[in-house]
Amino acid sequence: MEFTAGSFQITNSGEFVACFLAGTRIATPDGDVAVEDLVRGDLVLTADGRSRHILWIGRQAVAATFADPSTCYPVRIMAGALAEGVPVRDLYVSPDHALLVDDVLVQAGALVNGTTITRVEQPEERFTYYHIELEDHALVLAEGAPAETFVDNVTRRRFDNYAEYEALFGACEARLPELELPRIKSARQLPRAVRERLATRAEALGFVGAAAA
């Protein structure tokens, strides 16, 4: 199901990609900038310290009423949940968006532990995700946490503003190889070392008795 609200086409979970929730601050050479304020051509900082130009920014609006909570509702990663000061403030991403944890790409849904990393149960009725595309699949700093940029193992046509991409670059064709890193897609695949890291951080943040499963 889909419907239009203003300039946004709002979709349900059948049309979905991995993205940053509006308001997420992305590191740039001039400081952190909310993802929705970035535009094509802006520079962002990657986790390895390089400055990279944005090729395109995809946008997708979601209506909570028509969305599948398990695939569409944001995951909240509390400040300090991954390491001391990482992220620097609460980070909200879609469940399938991956972050780099212990040299492994872990999708946010797989990190949920019920304490420091949780699913947002009651998001705003309408919310918007944004995704950053660079010349290749890379890691940018989102609230200080290394998080993946767009990789076209999903189609750009799922974005509301795909027509902008097509006008700039023509037909949507896969061209971005994924980073050569293991990817964790579910909690059962999560390495024990990562579980223990999350439990240790949860205890440090005041969640008494948090333990690795």
Three-state SS for 39?
A: coil
Q: Which amino acid is at 62?
A: V
Question: In the prediction, which pLDDT does 83 show?
Answer: 96
Task: Give the model's pLDDT for residue 201.
Answer: 96
H or E element in which residue 102 lies: none
Please report, for residues 24, 36, 58, 82, 114, the alpha-carbon distance to residue 205 in angstroms, rounded to integers and kept in the order given: 22, 30, 34, 11, 13
pTM value is: 0.90
CA 86 – CA 58 distance, rounded (Å): 25
pLDDT at res. 208 = 76
DSSP for 143-205 reads: TTEEEE---TTS-GGGSTTHHHHHHHH-S-----PPPSS-EE-SGGGS-HHHHHHHHHHHHHT
Between the alpha carbon of residue 61 and those of residues 58, 96, 202, the distances in Å are: 10, 16, 32
Walk along the chain (213 residues) and give the pLDDT tens digit of each residue: 333 333 334 444 445 667 999 999 999 999 999 999 999 999 999 999 999 999 999 999 999 999 999 999 999 999 999 999 999 999 999 999 999 999 999 999 999 999 999 999 999 999 999 999 999 999 999 999 999 999 987 788 889 999 999 999 988 777 788 999 999 999 999 999 999 999 999 999 999 765 555
- Quote the pLDDT of residue 1: 31
Give the pLDDT score at 171.
81
Token representation of residue 164: 């902008």
pLDDT for the residue numbered 8: 37
